[in-house]
Amino acid sequence: MSAMFITATGTDVGKTYVACALIRALRAEGRAVRAFKPVVSGFDPADTDASDPGRLRAALGDGAPSLEDISPLRFAAPLSPPLAARLEGVHLELDRLEALCRTQIAGDGPLLIEGAGGVMSPLTDEATNLDLIARLTLPVILVCGSYLGTISHTLTALEVLKARGVTVAAIVMSESEGAPDLGETAASLAAFVGEIATLTAPRHADGWDASDLARRLQL
């Protein structure tokens, strides 16, 4: 059993982009990687391919599990999970989310669990991604953008993760549109994060090669 939690400094900075790239890199090494995103909002049943679980499923390739298996809790409204769930008459509970993740963790082969939103984004009315991560005691990949201000946001996220005893396995800076130079921004961030590996994920039409990240992780 080996598992990693992919979280981020905020919403829409590239978690799924990084997760899909890492899945492809692990598969290229012959690893039978799995992916799980317990809850997703903004899910359009008419365009599943564009959804986060749809993109994860595509990266997993032939024999991938169903969307229901990858993301069992899917809600239509593009809101935080508890708000989107409430509109559909569902009350999200941290115990249930933890149980869903633990069932996946008990399976065979490397597992990537992707959160919803950023480290401190709410998953339920009472709990955040950080609460779930801390309960699972999994190391994390922290994804950040390269936009102006990202260094402050990333260092803040690192501080709250550290305060809860969470191990950060790597930081991946995903390129933001119209942002300052990706390499220079990552180098500036790296000066503040000690021994935590800081990698860059450029935005290419054919995706990012995450083989270096795959080699660094003990999955």
Q: Which residues are annotated as catalytic?
A: 37
- Cross-sheet strand order for the sheet of 2-8: 34-36, 110-114, 2-8, 140-144, 168-174, 198-201
Nearest of 99, 38, 119, 39 to residue 75 by alpha carbon: 39
- Give the contacts of 59 (CB within 8 A, at least 6 positions apart): 19, 20, 21, 23, 24, 27, 35
* SS3 state at 169: strand
Contact criterion met (CB below 8 Å) for 184 and 175: no
Beta strand pairing call for 140-144 and 2-8: parallel
- For 97, 143, 207, the CA distances from 100, given in Å and listed in that order, are 5, 23, 29
Distance CA 141, CA 21 (A): 13
